[in-house]
Amino acid sequence: MTPVPESHYLIFSLILFSAGIFGALTRRNALGVLIALELMLNAVALNFVIFSRTAPEGSASGQVSAFFIIALAAAGAAAGLAIVLAVYRSRKSIQTDDTNLLKW
């Protein structure tokens, strides 16, 4: 059985990243945008893992980076949810259309 070539994984991670961009730009709900941003970060982590397979020296640094990205995504989600909750408490809405106090 032949192994799956790297390019397949790369195309998959690109699709994941693009889906994240699309979601972040089109979602009207702040939580939806946060989920889309997580997709983008997952694409980055996936990239690191794939490239650590092809890297000539020490594949460890790619895999370690993937773990760091996962931890960063978790920290980002914690901070993000805290802010979304604070906004919800004062506005009773997390629709990005409703955040209209500050204008250009």
Report in angstroms how near the CB of residue 1 gets to other proteins at its nearest.
Answer: 25
| Residue from 31, 13, 45, 38 nearest 87 by CA | 31
- DSSP one-letter code for 95: B
Q: CB pairs under 8 A, 24+ apart, for 52-57?
A: 53/6, 54/6
Binding mask 24-63 for other proteins (x = CB under 8 A): x-----x--xx--x--xx-xx--xx-xxx-xxxx---xx-
Judged by CB under 8 A, does residue 70 bind other proteins? no
Judged by CB under 8 A, does residue 104 bind other proteins? yes
Judged by CB under 8 A, does residue 86 bind other proteins? yes
